[in-house]
Structure 1
Amino acid sequence: MTDAAPAPSSWRFPRAFWTANAVELCERAAYYGTFIALRTYLLRVVGLDDVQAGWLAGLFGALIYLFPFFTGAASDRIGFRASLILAFLLLAVGYGSLGVFHTLGPVSVGLLLIVLGGAFVKPVITGTAARSSNEANRARAFSIFYMMVNIGSFTGKTIVAPIRIEMGVHHVPFFSAAAAAVALVIVLLFYFPTEDGEARPRSVGETLRGMVTVMGNARFFALILITAGFWAIQGQLYASMPDYVIRMAGETYKPEWYANVNPLVVVLCVVAVTQLVRAWPPARSMAVAMALIPLSSLAMAMSAWIHRPLALFGLEVHPITAMMVVGIAIQGFAECFLSPKYLEFASKQAPPGREGLYLGFAHMNTFFAWLFGFVFAGYLLKAYCPDPASLPPDAQAAHAAWLAGQGAMPAQYAHAHYVWYAFAIVGAISFAAMMIFAALTARADARRGVRAEG
């Protein structure tokens, strides 16, 4: 049963579809608004150090991608409307608790509530899009969904920058709580989907068995780990970039806005790039993406070699700002080559006849990427770009004077750009591993008589 699927080639969808997309925009604004400030919040408000903040933020980001495998089964059982009501209740309370409580225990509980709430949202929204469309217009339905994701992400990060600067990072979660509360009201008033009583919900046990099967396949698991290197670098938009910019340029700079360059480039380039690579073997398109991603880190590191503001369009631009934007733009362009072909390539690594099961877990690469990327970033920042609050008073004063243009760079920050060199190495290793993987799997397929198109 579907929610009155519209006629072919129509952009008309039932109310449940549009309501679901409206609350998706709110949820993404809430999530990205807090996520990009989370490490800074954990440092300044909760009192963690760089390494501790990296571990906690990494676990948070990783679990956000793990839990939907299980909450998807639960949402089928309790119904989509009840799932979204529960989700936004959890999100509103979770984000609100981060604003009210500032010690590790309550903050950890709040983050767990956000993970649980967020894990219900994606399967319900994507499920609503599927039920509200048919084969003729499903691509349009999901294009609207992804547009809402990007608009929400862009909006959330844009709004929280002035909140952090003018009011303090401890106020950022209140914005996210408000966005979640607005979504809850919308669901209560307008979201009445037709539930699919004919579908048999997948059990948690089935989900676990499927995950064990997929992760136990060395070939498929290797692909997940290799591509995790790509996403670990992308994840630095939230892991290391915000604190790096604030420590190296100053409190009034807006890394939240720099991060918006990524979805902007994707929106501007993805159609053209998808058209370009439509006839390419998947491995070639992915190789371009994996080759570009270490270059993005090298571009970010280049600000260390520029010692004065750059003149761009009649404006003076800080070297950190300029090279961050360049590096982030390269990341977005690289994503345009990876995303259209990843699932196609992943399907070729699955055993024949089991492609559906394996593709269901193909995005586990983000789980590993977020966990590794945040933890690694924590150790790198502590070593090369430390939190000024962790320095002796004289070094703190020297750092403040340097940012104000009244002194030399403190020795503790002389090698801050090594953070990006380290991630460039991660990207280079991932690229080399991708090339070796593609060659070995193509050779193995040829020996078995399988036509290897990837």
Structure 2
Amino acid sequence: MKALQVFKKFPRTFWVANTMELFERWAWYGFFSLFALYLTGSTDEGGMGFTQIQKGNIMGIGTAILYFLPIITGTISDRIGYKRTLYIAYTVYTTAFIAMPFFHTYFSVFFIFLYLALGAALFKPIVSATVAKTTDETTSSIGFGLFYMMVNIGAFIGPFVTNHYQQIAWKYVYFSSAAVIAANFILLTFFYREPTEKQKQKESSLGKNIIEVFKNIGVALSDVRFVVFLIIVSGFWTMYNQLFFSLPVFIEQWANTSIVYDMFHSWWPWLAEQIGTSNGTIPPNILINADAGFIILFQIIVSSIAMKFRPLNAMITGMLIASIGVGFSMATQNGIYTLIAILIFSLGEMSSSPKITEYIGRIAPADKTALYMGCSFLPVAAGNYFAGIISGNVYQSMSDKIQLAKNEMASRGIHMPEISKAFSQNDYLKTAADKLHMNLDQFTNFLWDKYHPSNIWVVVTGIGVGAAVLLFLYDRLLLKKK
């Protein structure tokens, strides 16, 4: 079926839901593309000055909870209605963004991020379920491809907007995200319609409702093959999330992005000056945002090709390609190679990620769509949790510049002041470089050559390739026996 004929089959609610998804992703990625840098950034530049482990805990545990909660919020929304749930979600989301810049300690930042995660958890299963309910067997592949493209349009716009605000003050990053989320109240009030009637059920206590939710989850997870699939896919999400958990920090600490700036400046000076810094570099959040840009350009083409193949075959191929891309992005200091690696990663992501959502959406019973779509977030939750460990404990020990500098100074017996508000991370690196009679660039290259922080790519790629191999075995050994 031709794509244009498919487009005509989508009802208005499908397009409204996709537009709300665009705004929500704009708000989310506007701040989340900068979040790792905000958490670990030097305090003299407005960052929180947290360690990589603290960052990994906040981002990993916080987003894991975000993606776990939809197994509950999805069922609740089936009962009280999608529209009412979305009103609650946008209220929590907006207030969380407004409050976030006023929290500065490790535990308070952790708390407000969990509150923000609640708003996202209320939102996520509703829009996915709306797309599932407004598509059918003939429109689902293109429909979910469009949905994923809208995700990435929002993800592409957000970082460009907040990059401008971040250069003024960090608080405006969060205020701008709050304003974008608030715009969804208009779409929700005047244009969104329930895709199905809410389930009529007898009134019961909150405790009984919660028990019933977990009973329903037990039913959804009673299929061993489905559970094995979810476990394998969690490996993909562990690898995938390094794009936001580890790569921004890696680029900030190690990569030379001035050559990317010079390349763009030779082609289009105005664009380079808009996205670059006054120092002639490309910020990490802008560089990783190329992933969303590539998806906007190529998602429909990739989805049109992928719809000709079995979902599992498309997923396996996509996982392998994405694993190579994300690993290569942390294997070099050359910003050009990093950009090429992000392109490779995005091609794999386009093939695999929408197919995961489509695969689960299509096997869900009609009366439990939101519940099953909520269960689809379980591997994402696990992937985020383990991604936090990789970007926290593993990254800090293998690749964190601050930790490697500490190791080097300790190995030489050189006493250094502890990092604090009065003695920032930038102060530490500059002092360490001075004691070794180097400038900062020389010190960075010295640490790179001695400690090989790029070895983190082996860990990240290994996780993704392992997931692809297990999914291949799952298809050949488990599904073929059914």
Same fold (TM over 0.5): yes
Per the TM alignment, residue 438 of structure 1 is displaced from its structure 2 partner at its CA by 2.9
Corresponding residue of 1:312: none
Measure the CA separation in 1 of the matches of 2:23 and 2:385. Answer: 25
Q: TM-score normalized by structure 2?
A: 0.73
Corresponding residue of 1:90: 92
For 1:34, give the aligned amino acid. F
Corresponding residue of 1:36: 33
Structure 1, 240-249 or 100-109: larger mean CA deviation: 100-109
**8 Å CA contact 1:33, 1:159 repeated in 2:** yes
Is 1:238 the equivalent of 2:244?
Answer: yes
* SS in structure 2 at match of 1:325: helix
In the superposition, relative to structure 1, how do residues 119 and 277 fare at CA in structure 2: closer, same or farther (>3 Å)? Answer: closer
Measure the CA separation in 2 of the matches of 1:369 and 1:407. Answer: 34
In the superposition, relative to structure 1, how do residues 208 and 102 fare at CA in structure 2: closer, same or farther (>3 Å)? Answer: same
Measure the CA separation in 2 of the matches of 1:53 and 1:244. Answer: 13
Per the TM alignment, residue 350 of structure 1 is displaced from its structure 2 partner at its CA by 10
Corresponding residue of 1:309: none
Per the TM alignment, residue 31 of structure 1 is displaced from its structure 2 partner at its CA by 0.9
Per the TM alignment, residue 191 of structure 1 is displaced from its structure 2 partner at its CA by 4.8
* SS in structure 2 at match of 1:409: helix
For 1:379, give the aligned amino acid. N
Per the TM alignment, residue 139 of structure 1 is displaced from its structure 2 partner at its CA by 7.2
Corresponding residue of 1:436: 473
Is 1:115 the equivalent of 2:117?
Answer: yes
Measure the CA separation in 1 of the matches of 2:85 and 2:364. Answer: 32
In the superposition, relative to structure 1, how do residues 20 and 405 fare at CA in structure 2: closer, same or farther (>3 Å)? Answer: same
In the superposition, relative to structure 1, how do residues 419 and 19 fare at CA in structure 2: closer, same or farther (>3 Å)? Answer: same
Structure 1, 191-200 or 109-118: larger mean CA deviation: 191-200
Per the TM alignment, residue 57 of structure 1 is displaced from its structure 2 partner at its CA by 0.6
Corresponding residue of 2:61: 59
| Residue 324 of structure 2, aligned match among 290, 295, 300 | 295
Corresponding residue of 2:176: 175
Corresponding residue of 2:453: 416
1:158-195 C-alpha deviation (Å, 9 max, x unpaired): 2222333x23545422222222233345545x356368
Per the TM alignment, residue 46 of structure 1 is displaced from its structure 2 partner at its CA by 3.9
| Residue 263 of structure 1, aligned match among 292, 302, 316 | 292
Per the TM alignment, residue 214 of structure 1 is displaced from its structure 2 partner at its CA by 4.5
1:245-267 C-alpha deviation (Å, 9 max, x unpaired): 11113785322222222233334
1:274-329 C-alpha deviation (Å, 9 max, x unpaired): 4444444444333322332332244224425xxxxxxxxxxxxxx1x222222221
* SS in structure 2 at match of 1:102: coil
In the superposition, relative to structure 1, how do residues 404 and 42 fare at CA in structure 2: closer, same or farther (>3 Å)? Answer: closer
Corresponding residue of 2:151: 149
Per the TM alignment, residue 240 of structure 1 is displaced from its structure 2 partner at its CA by 0.1
For 2:92, give the aligned amino acid. L
Corresponding residue of 2:234: 228
* SS in structure 2 at match of 1:167: coil
**8 Å CA contact 1:64, 1:115 repeated in 2:** yes
* SS in structure 2 at match of 1:378: helix
| Residue 383 of structure 1, aligned match among 386, 394, 397 | 397
1:353-391 C-alpha deviation (Å, 9 max, x unpaired): x99986762442211111111221112321133254984
Measure the CA separation in 1 of the matches of 2:136 and 2:88. Answer: 28
Q: TM-score normalized by structure 1?
A: 0.77
Aligned length: 419
* SS in structure 2 at match of 1:91: helix
1:105-136 C-alpha deviation (Å, 9 max, x unpaired): 43233212211211222334345556778888
Per the TM alignment, residue 216 of structure 1 is displaced from its structure 2 partner at its CA by 5.7
Corresponding residue of 2:262: none
Measure the CA separation in 1 of the matches of 2:252 and 2:155. Answer: 21
Corresponding residue of 1:248: 254
Per the TM alignment, residue 13 of structure 1 is displaced from its structure 2 partner at its CA by 5.0
Per the TM alignment, residue 50 of structure 1 is displaced from its structure 2 partner at its CA by 0.8
Measure the CA separation in 2 of the matches of 1:23 and 1:356. Answer: 17
Unaligned stretches of 5+ residues in structure 1: 1-6, 305-318
| Residue 463 of structure 2, aligned match among 410, 419, 426 | 426
Measure the CA separation in 1 of the matches of 2:363 and 2:85. Answer: 34
Within 5 Å, which residues of 2 pair with 1:99-110? 99-110=101-112
**8 Å CA contact 1:50, 1:387 repeated in 2:** no
Corresponding residue of 1:335: 349
* SS in structure 2 at match of 1:36: helix
Unaligned stretches of 5+ residues in structure 2: 42-46, 203-208, 257-276, 407-415, 417-426
Corresponding residue of 2:264: none
CA root-mean-square deviation = 4.0
Per the TM alignment, residue 155 of structure 1 is displaced from its structure 2 partner at its CA by 0.8
Q: What is the percentage of aligned positions where both structures have the same residue?
A: 24
For 2:342, give the aligned amino acid. I
Measure the CA separation in 1 of the matches of 2:83 and 2:98. Answer: 22
Within 5 Å, which residues of 2 pair with 1:283-322? 283-304=312-333, 319=334, 321-322=335-336
